[in-house]
Structures are given as structure tokens and as C-alpha cells.
Amino acid sequence: MQKRKLGNSDLEVSALGLGCMGMSASYGPPKDKQEMIALLRTAVDRGITFFDTAEAYGPFTNEELVGEALAPIRDQVVIATKFGFKLDPEGQQEQIGVDSRPAHIRAVAEASLRRLKTDVIDLLYQHRVDPSVPIEDVAGTVKDLIQAGKVRYFGMSEAGVQTIRRAHAVQPVTALQNEYSLWTRTPEQDVLPTLEELGIGFVPFSPLGRGFLTGKIDENTSFDSSDFRNSLPRFTQEARKANQALIDLLGSIAAQKQATPAQIALAWLLAQKPWIVPIPGTTKLHRLEENIGAVSIELTADDLREIDSAASQITIQGARYPDELESKTGL
């Protein structure tokens, strides 16, 4: 497995990480714990060293799963988790708002350390910006946690460029985690140039379009009633039918490269910048192996031009989130 550094930091991780949310939440019922522990340990055996979780996933249960799975090999891995939501302490409902007050950040960090069975969080993200708390106070609190030896690096998620700049001036931001893929390209406008200027790494979440870019979902696919994709405008039957054009493009490139659409989608991301580290999630071993295979696929400059040219002719149908979730979802 190739390694990459996140921005100008000395935080080196595998070129592909593993998003762990779907093991515990959002994509149907939680998966079998022992099976997921085995999958996480297999990922390490295959060279993945970068694991992404959050207190909001479950809530709480995903951190516990990741902590238990990686505890025996803690010195071999980098664990990223997140603060920033107001959660039901009983874990009985989804997040009920944002909360990045300094006291809350400190409390969440302590709880995450316990659940992750570790004495330091490698990368601590603000999960979503809290408009009621100055970002300087957030960055300063994480800076204190770093100085106390409880956190190693500071990250942000779905933050705008001005907020990133303000935070970075207080405590260097090591990584930004935003959605980015061939069907969500908004970071290219302002975010990627800002990260390059400041020396911040980029960690795309949902790099496979929540499964759509694998080519295994079409207009006839049905999801479990607890799967949050049922509520996403981009996953209506009409949108899935319209967006099939992107899958056809990936499929044609994949055929030329003797690869799969998912591998091309991930290879395209890896080819954008050397400091981009996608974190596709999966609960299946064969999908993990498939994703890892993307790292060895070489897309030439001509390949990338062909993909960009063809993709520019395709208009993606459907918003990422319903309007009421756009600003507060943790997914």
C-alpha cells in the first residue's frame, strides 16, 4: 500500500483510508460486531493504516467498535474521530444540533479516548461548524488538547474557506474532510486551491457517492427502511435513472483499464492531488479488496482529460441532502 502525507504535516497514512460509519449506522441495521472487527483487522493486514470514525456514528457504538478492533495493533494505525454535535446521551436518537463549546469539546475528547481504548486521538475533526462559537475558540481548545498530549492533529469537516483560514491561524489544520467525488465536485472551486496554499491535506468522504459510483445501484434498487439514502434527493428513483450516465462513463473507462467503476472513481480522486486520501466505507471483504486495488491503477493525463471532458457533459440530478439537513447532517 502506498503512503501519503496529509498536507505539510508529518502525518503519514495509507493512500486509502477506511470510513467506518456504515458498520454501525446510516446504511441499514448495524452489522455484526465480530465480523466488523475481523474486517478492520484485515484492512490493517492489507496495508490500510487510516481509520475514520466519530462519536455521532451510532451514536457512540462505532468508536467502541473501532477501539476494540484496533487496540491490539494501536501503534500501527492512525485513528480519526470527531466532535461537534449535540447528541442524545442515551444514543436513542440522531444528533439534535451542533455544539462546539470548548467545555463540550473537552468532554467529547475524554469520552472518545475511553471508547477508542487509547491515550491519544491521532486526528480530531470538528464534525460541523457551530455558528454560535467563534472558530478561534474551537481551534484554541483543540490546541490545548494537543499541548496536553491527548490529540495529535486538528481537522475540520465541511468548513468554508474563510472559516478554515481563521482556524488555521490559531492551530494549524492538518486535514479537511468534505464530500468529494466524480458526482460532488464543489470542493474544486475554492476549497482545493485554499488547501494547497495553506498546506492542508484533504480527506474526501463518500468518494464512491454513497455506493452509487460502484455501478451496483440503479433505478430499481431498494434500500432497507433504516437506510438514510431513502431521504436523499440524489437517490430518488428518477435521480438514479438520470445519473446512470455517470456510471456508464465509469464503466467504459473501467473496461479499458480492466478495472471496476469503483476503482476508476477512487483512482480519479487519487490522481487529483498527492495530498488527497479518500476514505471509502465498506462492510464487505470483497469490496475492501476492490477498493484497495484502486491504488495501483494509473490514470494518465489523457485518461483524466477524457474523464473530465465526458463528465462535464453530464448534469448530476438531485441535491446531496434535503434542505433541512444540509447544514446539520453529520454524514
Under DSSP, the state recorded for 56 is T
- 152 and 146 in contact (C-beta within 8 Å)? yes
Cis peptide before 59 (omega within 30 of 0): yes
Overall size of the chain counted in residues: 331
- Give φ, ψ of 21 to 5 degrees: -50, -50
First to last CA, the chain: 27
Which of 57, 125, 153, 321 is the catalytic position?
A: 57
- The secondary structure of residue 176, as a DSSP letter, is E
CA–CA dist 168, 187 (Å, integer): 18
Residue 299 C-alpha cell reads as 490514470
Rg, Å, the chain Cα set: 19
d(CA 77, CA 122): 9
Within a 13 Å sphere around the CA of 280, how many CA atoms are in the beta-carbon half?
32
> Is 57 considered catalytic here?
yes
In the DSSP assignment, the letter for residue 20 is -
Whole-angstrom Cα distance, residue 200 to residue 192? 9
Residues 117, 3, 9, 81, CA torsion sign: negative
Q: To which residue does cell 438514479 refer?
A: 240
Question: d(Cα 4, Cα 266) in Å, to the nearest integer?
Answer: 15
Is residue 50 within 8 A of residue 78, CB to CB? The reply is yes
Locate the DSSP E strands across 159-315: 173-177, 201-202
Q: Nearest 10 degrees: CA dihedral of 297, 300, 301, 307?
A: -60
Enumerate the active-site residues.
Answer: 57
